[in-house]
A = this chain, B = another copy of it.
Amino acid sequence: MPGKAVSIYDIAQLAGVSTATVSKVLNGKGSISQATKDRVLEIAQREGYVASYAARTLSRGDTHTVGILAPDVSNPFFSALERRVETHLYDAGYVCYVCDTGNDAGRARRNLQSLAQRQVSGLVFVNGRYDLDDLGVADGLPVVEVDPVMHARRPWTVSVGNDFSAMARDAVRLLARRGCRRIALLSVFTGATSSDGEWMGLRATLAEFGLTPDRNLVLVGPHRKESRVEAAELVGQCLDDGYRMDGIVCLGDRIALGACQALRERGLEIGRDVLVVGMDNSLFSQVAVPAISSVDRHEDEMAECGVEALLSMVRGEEPEEDRITVGYDIVERESTLGA
């Protein structure tokens, strides 16, 4: 109920000019005498005039708005990523519609519907797990996937994320250098980690250190519960079955937290009996006791690259590369250093 909004017509009246002139002044187009310019500006200011975006959109055909589709609320990494994307877009003059997909395709579809109606200029999927084709994304609408689980092969789409295999490889190397001989890989299911690629990478990396892999130490859950809980169960089960490891590479900090819990419950000391490295370098890894080494995934860089790619597409430039990989570094803490 914002009173009766003042329109461009009102301003024109007050200034004794036409709406065309007001529009030009406000958008800095055409050539207008300084005097008129000042007068119009002054009046618009005084009357608290704000242009209606709906009207502008209707006549210009561009909303300067992008839709962000992000998954559930539970993972701080995604929330943070989403907020970063949003911030970069805002700085570029865009405003965002944010939709929580709850990681549910049906819901994402409905979200998409709303966004289509609103004619967003582009779309950002955060950690998307969908096939963009049968999700009904309008043809030709620029899309970027940030930290995607699976990479869509669709025109006008670019993915920005990490090279998980490389990260896992480096994490394994770290542990091996610290003396681990029996290194476990721990993850809950995501397209990226359940692939054979990971396992193969592990094999090759272990070989560098003269170690042989043990399939019993490749722990991958179905992700049917909270990842921390599931991870704890996987590690617990593994140990209870009699398999021992002296190092664990965890694909996520919450997973690492679960691993630590299971180890602790069985009297194993983290950082001494078993070295642990996580991923995301979230607050969790920092505040855990002992602090957990973790791979920093350069989330802000992801967000920034993603936004840049999106806006370039919005400008009509076809993307050169449909897959951007951002760097990472391993932050070492007590869990791999021994107190």
Contact = CB atoms under 8 A, between A and B. Distances in A.
Interface of A: 1-3, 5, 48, 50-55, 57-58, 63, 73-74, 76, 79-80, 83-84, 86-87, 90, 95-100, 102, 111, 113-119, 138-142, 156, 228, 254, 257, 261, 264, 283-284, 287-289, 316
A157 to B, nearest CB: 13
Contact of A79 (B3, B79, B288): B79
B86 A100 contact: yes
5 closest Cβ pairs, A-B complex = A54-B57, A79-B79, A73-B83, A98-B98, A76-B76
29 contacts: A1-B140, A1-B156, A2-B119, A2-B138, A3-B138, A5-B119, A50-B113, A50-B117, A51-B117, A52-B117, A53-B54, A53-B117, A54-B55, A54-B57, A54-B58, A73-B83, A73-B87, A74-B80, A76-B76, A76-B79, A87-B100, A90-B99, A90-B100, A95-B114, A96-B97, A228-B287, A284-B287, A288-B289, A289-B289
A84 B102 CA distance: 11
Nearest to A313: B1
Contacts of A51: 117
Given A1-B140, A48-B138, A52-B117, 16 more contacts: A1-B156, A2-B116, A2-B140, A52-B58, A53-B117, A54-B55, A54-B118, A73-B83, A86-B98, A90-B100, A95-B99, A96-B97, A96-B98, A254-B283, A257-B287, A283-B284
A5 B159 CA distance: 26
A318 to B, nearest CB: 10
A74 B139 CA distance: 36
Nearest to A55: B58
A118 B54 CA distance: 7
A284 to B, nearest CB: 7
Given A264-B289, A287-B228, A84 B73 contact: yes
A35 to B, nearest CB: 26
Listed residue (A139, A254, A287) with the most chain B CB atoms within 10 angstroms of its CB:
A287
B52 A2 contact: no
Contacts of A139: 2-3
A255 B223 CA distance: 31
A116 B83 contact: no
Nearest to A316: B1
A134 B298 CA distance: 37
A189 to B, nearest CB: 21
Contacts of A79: 73, 76, 79-80, 83
Contacts of A156: 1
Contact of A53 (B80, B84, B96, B119): B119
A97 B100 contact: no
Nearest to A110: B90
Contacts of A97: 95-98
A81 to B, nearest CB: 9
Contacts of A55: 54, 58
Nearest to A57: B54
A73 B80 contact: yes
Contacts of A54: 53-55, 57-58, 63, 118-119
A230 to B, nearest CB: 14
